[in-house]
Amino acid sequence: MLYYKEYITDLTLLGIWKIEETSQELFSLLAHHEWIKNIYTVKAESRVLEILSTRILIKALTGEEKEVRYNTTGRPFLADESYHMSVSHTKGYVAVAINKEKAIGLDVEYISEKIRRVQSRLISDKEYIDKDNELIHLLLHWSAKEAMFKYLDTEGVDFRKNLFVSKFTPKEKGTFNARETRSPQHAQFKAYYKVEKEFVLVCIEKKS
């Protein structure tokens, strides 16, 4: 079901789909089955649900079904190039963000303790983590860096050395600044975040 839909900036529309349907129910909501014919080769039911939910969510955001293709790095894009798009999924949820003018990056992370096992590889000593809300803050850092990684769409990105999140104190939702040093442009980003009961989400957009 459509869990959330909102313009988070003037141009970026964000949607979240909570997967509660069967694959047959989702499939029945799509008309252009030829665009998803490769789904018959997907063995994992969870992946089938993600693919179908993504297509339906794109339809809910754009008002029509869209063909999705993938570039050489596996990044999805709309075949008609009507919008820039970023996609993410986690346990039981799919998220899609679209923007007509700007490239964007989106990531959603299920709330769990596994971030603690990898945080030393993701977060630098100079980055601020709120000790009163440590788990959520760590997850937001991770999600922001995954979103920047998707935006950059290149190899050789070191999450600890190339991607940085500016100091902020996490709330239920809000914005913070982030930056990257991997590309020649050293892009600066504004990041929108949302904290839900089961997941956190970050969507980044390059500053003008």
Task: Say yes or no to pLDDT of 121 above 90.
Answer: yes
Q: Considering the entire predicted model, what is its pTM? A: 0.95
43 lies in the same domain as 79 = yes
pLDDT of residue 120: 93
- DSSP letters, 3-67, are EEEEESSSSEEEEEEE--S-HHHHHTT-S-GGGGGGGGG---HHHHHHHHHHHHHHHHHHSS---
128 lies in the same domain as 175 = yes
Q: Which residues of 35-44 are buried (b: 16+ CB within 10 A; e: fewer)?
A: bbeeeeeeee
pLDDT, average across residues 3-28? 96
113 lies in the same domain as 199 = yes
| CATH code of the domain in which 49 resides | 3.90.470.20
| pLDDT confidence band for 162 (50 / 70 / 90) | very high
Which structural domain, as residue segments, surrounds residue 33?
A: 2-102
Task: Say yes or no to pLDDT of 40 above 80.
Answer: no
pLDDT, average across residues 52-58? 97
| pLDDT confidence band for 36 (50 / 70 / 90) | confident
Task: Say yes or no to pLDDT of 150 above 90.
Answer: yes
pLDDT of residue 51: 94
67 lies in the same domain as 37 = yes
Of 78, 102, 126, the position where a domain reaches its end is 102
| pLDDT confidence band for 123 (50 / 70 / 90) | very high
Task: Say yes or no to pLDDT of 78 above 80.
Answer: yes
pLDDT, average across residues 96-124? 96
pLDDT, average across residues 164-179? 97
111 lies in the same domain as 98 = no
Query: How many domains, in total, are found in the chain?
Result: 2
Strands 199-206 and 12-18: unpaired
> How much is the mean pLDDT over the chain?
95
- CA atoms of 42 and 1, how far apart (whole Å): 22
73 lies in the same domain as 10 = yes
88 lies in the same domain as 130 = no
